[in-house]
C-alpha cells in the first residue's frame, strides 16, 4: 500500500492542474507504483495467490488506461511511458 507522501508526490508530478487526482496520467502513475510494490511482495511471498490476482487486476486496469491515453493523446502517452519506464 502506498504511503500518503508517495501518492502526493506522484499526484503533484503528473497532475495537469492543482487538485488533480483523477486524470488518466495520475491514475496510471499511481497504479504503476502500486503494481511495483505488489510485485516485490509477491517475489518474497510466492504462495500469496490473492495478492497475485489483485496484481493482475491492477495490470489490466493500467493497460486499459494506457490504451485510452494512446488513442486520445499519443504525445502524453509517449511522455508518460518514457518517464515511468514502461514498455510500449
CATH code, domain carrying 31: 1.10.287.10
pLDDT of residue 57: 99
Question: How high is the pLDDT of residue 1?
Answer: 86
What distance in Å separates the CA atoms of residue 88 and residue 85, rounded to the nearest whole number? Answer: 9
pTM of the full structure? 0.94
Instruction: Determine the Cα–Cα distance for residues 36 and 48; give it in Å rounded to an integer.
Output: 16
| Res 50: pLDDT | 98
C-alpha torsion 67→85→78→63, nearest 10: 0
Query: Block means of pLDDT (10 residues each) for the chain, length 88 residues?
Result: 94 94 97 98 97 98 98 98 94
Structural domain harbouring 57: 4-84
Kindly list the distances between the CA atom of residue 17 and the CA atoms of 34, 46, 50, 79, in Å, as whole numbers in the listed order: 22, 40, 36, 17
Question: Can you give the pLDDT at residue 76?
Answer: 97
Question: What is the reported pLDDT for 9?
Answer: 96
Number of domains composing the chain = 1
Amino acid at each position: 500500500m502506498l504511503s500518503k507522501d508517495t501518492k502526493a508526490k506522484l499526484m503533484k508530478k503528473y497532475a495537469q492542474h492543482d487538485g488533480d487526482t483523477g486524470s488518466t496520467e495520475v491514475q496510471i502513475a499511481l497504479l504503476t507504483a502500486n503494481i511495483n510494490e505488489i510485485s516485490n511482495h509477491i517475489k518474497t511471498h510466492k504462495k500469496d495467490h490473492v495478492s497475485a490476482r489483485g496484481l493482475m487486476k491492477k495490470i489490466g486496469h493500467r493497460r486499459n488506461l494506457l490504451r485510452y491515453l494512446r488513442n486520445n493523446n499519443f504525445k502524453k502517452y509517449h511522455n508518460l511511458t518514457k518517464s515511468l519506464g514502461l514498455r510500449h
